[in-house]
Structures are given as structure tokens and as C-alpha cells.
A = this chain, B = another copy of it.
Amino acid sequence: MQVRTPVDFGLMIRQARRARGITQQELARAAAVGRQWIVEVEAGKPRAEVGRVLQTLAALDLSLTIHGEGIPELRESEDPAEDIDLDAVLEAHRRTPP
């Protein structure tokens, strides 16, 4: 989903938190922030610190993606487990045993 404003962050954090069935208190501990801060961020606080927001998204297993002119689709080293053809690997192994 698109994130355009701090309110969007708040909605998404709340939604994800509820989907996981955890309380603000628990999320606060997991993200290493105060519970009060979670309350404010879920309400869309525009001046919250990015670092903490990212920590919180990470604690919820949410991932952020950025795109636009001049932005590479992936960083090198990103998506490290991409499209491995397991059959091919096994076949190769079979042909050159230890």
C-alpha cells in the first residue's frame, strides 16, 4: 500500500499490530519505544522520528519499498535468495559428486 502521510503509517502500524494480536505495550517493548509513543504514532504524529518508525515497522515484519525516477529496483545484495532453480542445483551436484 502507498504511504503518503504520517497518518498512513499510523493506520498501517495499527492494522498490522492488530493482525498480530499484540497490544501497544508489547509492540512498544518489541520496538524499544515508549507505549505513549505508539499511541501518538498510530494517531499519525507527523513529527515522530524516522528511525523509530523504521524500528517499529521491523518489529512488525513490515517492509518499506521506495520507487521512482533514479531509484534502482534492487540494491545489490538485496533479495539474496532469488530464483534458485533447485532442480538444476541438485542435477549439478549429481554430476560432480564430492
Contact = CB atoms under 8 A, between A and B. Distances in A.
Contacts of A9: 50, 66
Number of copies: 2
B57 A51 contact: no
Size category of the binding interface on chain A:
35 or more
30 contacts: A1-B74, A1-B78, A3-B54, A3-B66, A4-B64, A5-B51, A6-B51, A6-B54, A9-B50, A9-B66, A12-B71, A15-B70, A16-B71, A18-B70, A19-B69, A47-B49, A47-B50, A48-B49, A49-B49, A49-B50, A50-B50, A57-B66, A61-B68, A62-B66, A62-B67, A63-B66, A63-B67, A63-B68, A64-B64, A64-B66
